[in-house]
């Protein structure tokens, strides 16, 4: 975990009987639509616009636009992953029926206000504690929706994805058809090709021009 921000947000999640003692393991992967660093500061505008092709640094909030539950069998069998569409209409504790992507941002914003009222003026500390509230809200919503325990979770924002793609790249893809999306920056020919980190982010963020939109 050297160099990583860690969180105890899983502690206290109701009915989350994760043992971790030789049993199957479930890991929730969270992709956060945020253009901010871990202290809540805007990422450099030129980097967000040019490298990430993600608009301006003040665009986007704390929606969890990607939620993937990865299941690792205890017997060493093949891992599987389930994608939870971001607009699934679910029970979000404390907020009623909402899109599941909103669970993080709603709880984070309310926690931030509460912490400020309590006199927590250090912005980095407030960001950390408010984000943990957002994570706990998301984890609870997913746990209640799927009725399975969550043993671990990992979260990245746009920059985090870019860094991961840089580390493992170039990314190989093979497309049945050419794609073009002015919003995400995805502009690829059909066939096999290798993507840079910036192109990989554009690739996974594309939804315009696809037959089934977000689900595609």
The average pLDDT across 186-196 equals 95
Cis upstream peptide for 170 (omega within 30°): yes
Please report the pLDDT score of residue 137 as a whole number.
96
- Among 21-25, 94-98, 155-159, 181-185, the least confident range: 21-25
Please report the pLDDT score of residue 111 as a whole number.
96
Residue 15 has pLDDT above 80, yes or no: yes
Q: What is the pTM of this model?
A: 0.87
Residues in CB range of 93: below 8 A, 6 or more apart: 137, 140, 141, 144
Please report the pLDDT score of residue 21 as a whole number.
58
Closest to 68 (Cα-Cα) out of 174, 148, 154: 154
Give first-to-last CA distance, the chain, whole Å. 33
Q: What is the pLDDT of residues 116-165, one digit of tens each?
A: 999 999 999 999 999 999 999 999 999 999 999 999 999 998 888 888 99
- Portion of the chain with pLDDT greater than 70, in percent: 91
Instruction: Decide: 143 and 90 in contact? Cβ < 8 Å.
Output: no
Residue 99 has pLDDT above 80, yes or no: yes
> Helices (H) and strands (E) in the chain — how many of each?
5, 10
Please report the pLDDT score of residue 60 as a whole number.
56
The per-residue DSSP string of 12-30 comes to: T-TT-----SSS-EEEEEE
> b or e along 100-110 (b: 16 or more beta carbons within 10 Å of the residue's beta carbon)?
bbbbbbbbbeb
Please report the pLDDT score of residue 40 as a whole number.
75
User: Confidence class of residue 27 from pLDDT cuts 50, 70 and 90?
Assistant: very high
Distance CA 169, CA 84 (A): 26
Which secondary-structure segment (H or E) carries 104?
helix 102-117
Strand 80-83, strand 89-92: pairing: unpaired
Distance CA 132, CA 29 (A): 15
Q: What is the pLDDT of residues 43-94, one digit of tens each?
A: 777 667 666 666 554 555 789 989 999 999 999 999 999 999 999 999 998 9
């Amino acid at each position: 975990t050297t160099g990583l921000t860690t969180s105890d947000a899983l502690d206290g999640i109701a009915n989350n009987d994760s043992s971790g003692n030789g049993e199957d393991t479930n890991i929730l992967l969270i992709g956060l639509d945020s253009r901010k660093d871990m202290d809540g500061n805007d990422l450099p505008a030129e980097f967000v616009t040019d490298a990430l092709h993600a608009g301006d640094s003040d665009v986007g909030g704390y929606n969890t636009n990607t939620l993937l539950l990865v299941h690792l069998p205890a017997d060493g069998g093949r891992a599987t992953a389930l994608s939870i569409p971001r607009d699934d209409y679910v029970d979000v504790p404390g907020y009623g029926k909402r899109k599941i992507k909103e669970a993080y941002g709603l709880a984070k914003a309310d926690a931030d206000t509460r912490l400020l009222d309590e006199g927590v003026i250090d912005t980095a500390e407030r960001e950390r504690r408010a984000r943990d509230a957002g994570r706990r809200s998301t984890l609870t919503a997913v746990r209640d929706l799927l009725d399975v325990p969550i043993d671990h979770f990992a979260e990245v924002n746009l920059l985090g994805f870019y860094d991961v793609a840089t580390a493992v790249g170039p990314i190989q893809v093979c497309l049945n058809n050419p794609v073009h999306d002015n919003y995400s920056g995805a502009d690829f020919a059909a066939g096999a090709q290798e993507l840079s980190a910036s192109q990989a982010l554009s690739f996974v963020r594309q939804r315009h021009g696809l037959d089934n939109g977000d689900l595609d």
